[in-house]
Amino acid sequence: MIWGFFYGFIAGTAFTLSLLFHEYGHYYWMGREGIKNKTMMMIPPFGAIAIPKEPWSSLGAEARIALAGPGFGLVSAVALLLTGVVFGSYKIKITTFTVCLVNLFNFWAPIAILDGGRVIKPLLLSLNTKLGIGFYYFSFVASFLLVWNFMSLFTLIIGFLIIQILESDLYATRCLIANNKIVRMSGREAASSILLFLAISAGLYAIVIVNGVSYGDFMEFMTDK
């Protein structure tokens, strides 16, 4: 297990389980939204991905399903934080920081197919379909800039996959718009999605502060391997 190399067996296992728990949040909430045809696909060493095999019932459902992943991620981060405090394990503290970092990046990166993007995109599509489509093109540019800024074989592979999924998702959204099957968010759904987005983000950031591990500590730990 690759994460065991960086964090040790116990902390590496905890990180992998946190990734799985994040994706299970999406999978679980798909069922809550009435999506019965769904699956979870294992992607070693990154955990898994929850995949719906039928369209979202509405833009509000898409946003809620997107929020569920980081919401479950916040729960796992709290569990790791408490474990680190109880056992005084620096590796668990590093793992806690990594879990928060991954969830925050996934939440705040302005890319339509990531969790934060799947909250922003429904909001924009509900306001105006052109804004929603424009966000896809913005996502293409953002993906390119992220790959360019963190140039490596790993980011090239991830960037290629993101662009492929963006193209597929954009096509599906255009088809829904063309067939007038877009179910827009209500004002209440939009407000609750924004509040949950901010609350989960604040919770993850608060754990980073309380945990006491900085990005510099994290990079020093990783480069020592």
CA–CA dist 119, 60 (Å, integer): 9
Residue 161: strand, helix, or coil: helix
Largest CA distance in the chain: 57
d(CA 108, CA 120): 10
Q: What percent of the chain has pLDDT over 70?
A: 90
User: Residue 14 — very low, low, confident or very high, per pLDDT cuts 50/70/90?
Assistant: confident
Residue for token pair 């067996």: 9
25: pLDDT strictly greater than 80 = yes
Higher-pLDDT residue of 77 and 220 is 77
pLDDT given for residue 57 in this prediction:
86
Q: Which residue has the higher pLDDT, 152 or 191?
A: 191
* C-alpha count within 13 angstroms, C-beta hemisphere, residue 195: 6
Tell me the pLDDT tens digit for each residue of 27-79.
999 999 999 888 887 776 566 788 888 888 899 999 999 999 999 999 999 99
DSSP for residue 40 = E
